[in-house]
């Protein structure tokens, strides 16, 4: 049980450190081609795939 608690605490601290890093970097979080960039109304270009949605946004 002690191993589980130590591992859980380590992961919580790691996630907290990543969250603080994102907050202080002051950059916008970006998605990938298959992620939220494919939802209508959201902005973003995909540089890795040849998705038609990405091509439309590049032409505009």
41: left (phi over 0), alpha (psi -120 to 50) or beta: left
Instruction: Give me the pLDDT at residue 10, please.
Output: 97
If one compares 17 and 39, the residue with the highest pLDDT of the two is: 17
pLDDT at residue 33 greater than cutoff 80: no
Quickly count: other Cβ atoms within 10 Å of residue 44's Cβ. 17
Q: Looking at the 3D structure of the chain, how many domains does it have? A: 1
Structural domain for 33, as ranges: 2-59
> Mean of the per-residue pLDDT values for the chain?
74
Whole-prediction pTM: 0.46
- For 36-59, write each residue's pLDDT tens digit: 656 665 555 555 555 555 555 555
CA distance 17 to 14: 5
Contact 37, 44 (CB under 8 A): yes
User: Phi then psi for 11, rounded to 5 degrees?
Assistant: -65, -40
């Amino acid at each position: 049980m002690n191993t589980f608690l130590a591992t859980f605490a380590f992961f919580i601290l790691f996630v907290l450190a990543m969250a603080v890093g994102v907050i202080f970097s002051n950059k916008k979080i970006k998605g990938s081609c298959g992620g939220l960039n494919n939802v209508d109304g959201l902005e973003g270009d995909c540089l890795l795939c040849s998705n038609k949605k990405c091509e439309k946004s590049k032409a505009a």
